[in-house]
C-alpha cells in the first residue's frame, strides 16, 4: 500500500515514516507544500497523510483542491495535528478529511488509524463496484462513465486542462459471434477489456459503452498523448492472440479507434464530444479498420 506523507517536520519522515516502512507500507515524502498536489496526481497514493501546518498553500487549501478533483477526491486523507488544533480540524473534516494523527507519534495509534481507513474505503469500493461496473467485463458501466465525464469536463473548463476522449470498437465482432458463438464473443470482450486496462493509466476511465464498443476518457491529456495512447491500445490488441474457453483456435482481433480532444477553452457538452469521437470512429471503420483516426474540427 502506498502512503504519501506531506509534512515539513523531521519526525514525519524519521518517526512516522519509519513506523509505516517497518510494517511494509510504501512511503512517499513531500516537504514543499507547492509540490504536494502534483506529486499526488503523479503517484495516486492509497492514503494521504497531510500536515496541518503546511503553508503557501496551506493544508486546508490543498485538501479542498484534492476533494474537488474527480481523480483524487476518493483518496482518504488523514491530517497531522495537535489536539489543540480543533478549529483547523473542524474545517478539515468539513472539507473531507477522514481522521487525524497527533504528535508525538504512537505506533499502535498510527497503524490502527491507517488500518481503519483502508478497511472502510475497501468496503465502500466493493459496494461501488456492484453499482458502477459492467457485469461481463468488470469495466465501468455507461451510467458511471457519464457521471465522471460531466465532472471531468467541468474540471477541464475550470482549470483549462486538456481532456481526450476515445471511442473504440472491435472490428468484425458480429463475425466472431456468428462463427464461434456468443460465449466466445463474451470471452473476447473480457480479454479486450484486460488488454485496455494493461495499457491505460490509473487515472484514465474506460467503460463498456454498449455491445462491442468501449469509451475511454483521458484526463489532462493533449493531442500527442491521446494519439500515442490510442496507437498503443490498437497495437496491443493486434499483437495479442485471443482464444475461447474449450477451443484450441487462436483468433486474431483488431480494433478501430476514434479520438477527439478538448482544450477547455470553449464550453462543449459531453454528447457533442462523444459525437466527435464517434464520427472519428466511423471514419476509422470506413478507412479500412484497425486504425486510429483523430476528429478534424
Residue 101 has phi, psi (to 5 degrees) of -120, 135
CB-CB contact of 95 with 60 (8 Å): yes
CB-CB contact of 99 with 47 (8 Å): no
19-53 residues labelled b (16+ CB within 10 A) or e (exposed): bbeeeebebbebbebeebbebbeebebbbbbbbbe
CB-CB contact of 71 with 41 (8 Å): yes
Indicate which residue of 43, 108, 126, 212 is catalytic. Answer: 212
DSSP state for residue 211 in the 8-state scheme: T
Residue for grid cell 454528447: 271
CA-to-CA distance for 94 and 92, rounded, in angstroms? 5
Give the residue from 261, 166, 187 showing the smallest Cα distance to 223: 261
CA-to-CA distance for 280 and 286, rounded, in angstroms? 10
Angle at 150 between CA 147 and CA 151, to 5 degrees: 90
Is 212 tagged catalytic?
Answer: yes
CA-to-CA distance for 90 and 52, rounded, in angstroms? 12
Residue for grid cell 488509524: 113
Start-to-end Cα distance in the chain:
43
Q: Is the dihedral of CA 48, 52, 57, 61 positive or negative?
A: positive
Report the catalytic residues.
212
Amino acid at each position: 500500500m502506498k502512503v504519501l506523507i506531506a509534512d515539513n517536520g523531521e519526525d514525519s519522515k524519521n518517526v512516522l515514516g519509519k513506523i509505516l516502512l517497518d510494517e511494509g507500507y510504501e512511503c512517499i515524502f513531500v516537504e514543499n507544500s507547492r509540490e504536494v498536489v502534483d506529486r499526488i496526481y503523479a503517484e495516486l497514493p492509497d492514503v494521504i497523510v497531510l500536515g496541518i501546518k503546511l503553508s503557501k498553500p496551506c493544508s486546508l487549501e490543498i485538501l479542498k483542491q484534492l476533494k474537488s478533483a474527480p481523480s483524487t477526491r476518493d483518496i482518504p486523507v488523514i491530517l497531522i495535528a495537535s489536539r489543540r488544533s480543533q478549529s483547523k480540524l473542524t474545517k478539515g473534516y468539513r472539507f473531507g478529511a477522514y481522521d487525524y494523527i497527533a504528535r508525538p507519534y504512537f505506533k499502535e495509534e498510527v497503524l490502527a488509524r491507517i488500518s481503519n481507513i483502508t478497511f472502510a474505503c475497501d468496503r465502500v469500493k466493493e459496494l461501488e463496484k456492484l453499482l458502477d461496473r459492467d457485469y461481463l467485463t468488470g469495466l465501468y458501466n455507461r451510467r458511471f462513465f457519464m457521471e465522471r465525464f460531466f465532472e471531468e469536463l467541468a474540471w477541464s473548463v475550470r482549470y483549462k486542462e486538456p481532456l481526450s476522449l476515445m471511442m473504440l470498437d472491435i472490428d468484425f465482432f458480429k463475425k466472431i459471434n456468428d462463427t464461434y458463438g456468443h460465449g466466445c464473443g463474451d470471452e473476447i470482450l473480457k480479454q479486450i477489456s484486460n488488454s485496455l486496462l494493461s495499457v491505460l493509466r490509473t487515472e484514465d476511465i474506460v467503460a463498456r459503452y454498449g455491445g462491442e464498443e468501449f469509451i475511454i476518457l483521458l484526463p489532462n491529456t493533449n493531442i500527442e498523448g491521446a494519439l500515442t495512447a490510442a496507437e498503443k491500445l490498437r497495437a496491443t490488441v493486434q499483437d495479442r492472440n485471443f482464444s475461447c474457453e474449450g477451443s484450441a483456435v487462436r483468433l486474431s482481433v483488431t480494433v478501430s479507434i476514434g479520438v477527439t480532444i478538448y482544450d477547455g477553452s470553449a464550453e462543449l457538452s459531453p454528447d457533442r464530444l462523444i459525437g466527435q469521437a464517434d464520427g472519428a470512429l466511423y471514419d476509422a471503420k470506413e478507412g479500412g479498420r484497425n486504425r486510429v483516426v483523430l476528429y478534424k474540427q
